[in-house]
Structure 1
Amino acid sequence: METVSAKVAVNGPEPVKSKRFRPRNLFYHLFTAGLAIVMLYPVIWLLISSFKESTSIFSTAHSLVPDPWIWSNYSEGWKGIAGQPFLTFIKNSLIIVVLSTAGAVISSALIAYGFARIPFAGKNFWFACMMLTMMLPHEVVMIPQYILFAKLGWINTFKPIVVPHWFGYPFFIFLMVQFIRTIPVDLDEAAKIDGCGRFGIFFKVILPLITPALATSAIFSFYWRWEDLINPVLYLNSPDLYPVSLALKLFLDSESASNWGAMFAMSVVSLLPVIIIFFIFQKYIVEGISTTGLK
């Protein structure tokens, strides 16, 4: 201590190190900015093209300045197509997304609680089978599912798109299982002493503590169902039931001139709910995924 004090007294306090310019930091920021521009360019091009004439969108694709600005693309697109206003398509998408997301989150939480907390015969085997379904391509089960739903009379309804999500989603189950395993079992024991059963522990102890995982699952489910195209193409035949993803395809006509301007305008409109949801709940995505990996 005396030696250190003497050194400070002779040499004085050490100067504060100033932040020096480092070429590595400059390269990092330039690379990140360039990557951001590359990732955002398609969205910027879509937004600018929504104000161009349909006949000049691809002939002037290199230009980001519309000449002239066609504001009527949005009003024409909002009028809809196939005898249906575009608001109908948005309403259908919201019905599918809300019901599917609610079913996926609720059922996955219950199944994850069973795998993480309730002992039963063959639990590891069934968990492994559930994990294997994550690697199963959708094309493998597409035809059997269609035959099943056709026999049930569910074609041209929302049921084939919504009902399967009320039986758990493998990725969400895995996410919540990992999250629940980080919660001390002592909390379950304390709830049992207070008289809680299985469902009481789930609703009063587990569910409030896995809110980040629930929010993350809900956000991912919202994204995936909003942009889903293959299932509406398979099961929906009436334009009044089409979601946004399928309605946008109606603006393309192979026999006459396609209304690219209106389609791009409504594509921008369809992106707004996704962007709003992301910026409002982005902290839950990061928190849910990062916390899941702590264990």
Structure 2
Amino acid sequence: MTSYVRTMHRIRSAILHLAVTLLALLMLYPMLWMVSSSLKDTTDIFVNSHQLIPSEWSFDNYVNGFKGFAGISFAVFFKNSFVITILSVIGTVLSSALVAYGFARIRFKFAPFWFACMMLTMMLPGEVLMIPQYILFHKMGWINTFLPLIVPSFFGGAFFIFLIIQFMRGIPKELDEAAVIDGCGKYRIFALVIVPLLTPPLITTAIFKFYWTWDDFFSPLLYLNSPKLATVSLAIKNFSDPTMKTDWGAMFAMSVLSLIPIVLVFFIFQRYIVDGISTTGLKG
């Protein structure tokens, strides 16, 4: 009987692993197809679109794609994306942590009201804010600069503030009281006591902000007019030109390269994502 139970357990486990593997391949197929298309010439992409293995391997797509367009190398677009993304991540992490500390640890007048106002901002569609923000940035002379894409990040984000608050509430307040006895003020408590314990939610915030900023297409399209200021997402779109022949192979090649930073960030920091979202208390 024991042998029968073990056999059935192994069979169910094998079926489960097979099903998960098939689902994983199904979800990865678009990415595999893109990588395959980046190694095909334009004709082969459309004639043999169903084949993942190219008829002829064409690595020239990566060379031609990296040359960019309008005399601007794709390295410039990567640099622009990294500058915008890294500064936005730094601004979001610092400001969100500071605001979360104020809500979670400092008593001030009308705190519940301001917290509710902050949470309500998550319900506003981006389309509602788009025109007022554009008018504001235009009057400030920030159009065709990186400032509209970076500066707002230094004022926090409601989702990230809420995430950090929930985690911070699991940190014992006795640590704050002990720091006060040692002569620490609110800012020293925040910097020396609270921040070192916020590693999981801060890294989670950084990961999500990195993803959202790196993949953002509409904001650069709205605020950046000069080709030299284009981000990777905007530059990839510019490979498609309806007025002339589109180099699809180069477009797919640059799309593959654009995924490398996202994949690296995920595999390096993936263990922090669950810890950051799980707010069950102090992590050891």
Q: How does 1:1-295 map to 2 (within 5 A)?
A: 19-22=6-9, 23-290=11-278, 292-293=279-280
The letter of the residue matching 1:19 is: R
Mapped partners of 1:167, 1:16: distance in 2: 62
For the 8 Å contact 2:169–2:281, the answer to whether it is kept is no
Give the conservation status (yes or no) of the 8 Å contact 2:66–2:75.
Answer: yes
Taking a change above 3 Å as real, the CA distance of residues 76 and 200 of structure 1, as seen in their structure-2 partners, is same
State whether residues 171 and 281 of structure 2, in contact with CA within 8 Å, keep that contact through their aligned partners in structure 1: no
Equivalenced residue count is: 280
Q: Secondary structure at the match of 2:242?
A: coil
Alpha-carbon shift at residue 21 of structure 1 (Å): 2.6
Task: For 2:191, give the aligned amino acid.
Answer: F
What SS does structure 2 have at the residue aligned with 1:58?
helix
2:44–2:55: 8 Å Cα contact kept in structure 1? no
- Displacement of 1:240: 0.5
* Higher Rg of the two aligned structures: 1
| C-alpha RMSD over aligned residues | 1.6
Q: Helix, strand or coil: the match of 2:142?
A: coil
Deviations 1:77-136 (A, max 9, x none): 011112200000000000000110000000000000000000111111111111111121
Aligned-residue sequence identity (percent) comes to 57
Q: CA separation in 2, counterparts of 1:17 and 1:183?
A: 49
- Which ranges in structure 2 are unaligned for 5 or more consecutive residues? none
Moved more, 150-159 or 66-75: 66-75
Alpha-carbon contact 2:143-2:224 (below 8 Å) kept:
yes
How far has the Cα of 1:293 moved from its partner? 4.5
String of CA shifts for 1:53-91, please: whole Å, max 9, x gaps.
113312311111111111100000011112200000000
Runs of 4+ in 1 over 6 A off after TM superposition: 15-18
TM-score for both structures, normalised by structure 1: 0.91
Q: Secondary structure at the match of 1:82?
A: coil
Residues 157-193 of structure 1 show CA distances to partners (whole Å, capped at 9, x for unaligned) of 0000000010001111011000110000000000000
SS at match of 1:145: helix
Distance in structure 1 (CA, Å) of the matches to 2:251 and 2:269: 28
Say whether the 8 Å CA contact 2:239–2:246 is kept in structure 1: yes
